[in-house]
Amino acid sequence: MMSLQTRLLLAASLVLLSFVGLCGAGLESSFRRAALDAQQNRMRGIVYALLGAAEPNERSELELNDGDLPDPRLMQPDSGLEAAVYDETGTVLWRSPSQSGSLPLVIGPEVGKWKLERIGDSGRFALSFGLRWIVTAASRPQRYTMLVLEEPGDYEEQLGVFRRTLWLW
């Protein structure tokens, strides 16, 4: 039979281990959420920069010039960063030179709304933004969806480093 002191030590140890485990899980969850928010904010910045580089063509439609792209990775094939513009029917109007292969079918969010999701086997991030393009009061507003795709490598590496450091300590 165990002494009272041994039983108290065992109970205190179990409570302490449970507390440390729950705190670690909570910290990891909070960090994952913060890293995902940071990922989304980076991708939003790319969308805003693409919108800043967009100009109307002769039909008052949104047009992007490949020479004005905000991130050099959008010019490099297989760089892990891709972008595209869809019209209201889901037709691809423009794709970045970095885009290789097929683009996912995108059901764009409402105008002014953002949609972040993970797609494919690799878990690529896909951020889409619904917008309405109005050049002049006399022109008909056009509905578009901007899509930015990014490989999750940096995000996953950041999570892995945090997880290893957290549980090591």
pLDDT score, position 135? 67
Residues 94-114 have pLDDT tens digits of 888 888 777 877 777 888 899
Beta bridge partners of 125: 118, 150
Residues 51-87 have pLDDT tens digits of 888 887 777 677 887 777 888 888 888 888 999 998 8
Nearest alpha-carbon partner for 100 in 151, 52, 156: 151
pLDDT score, position 88? 85
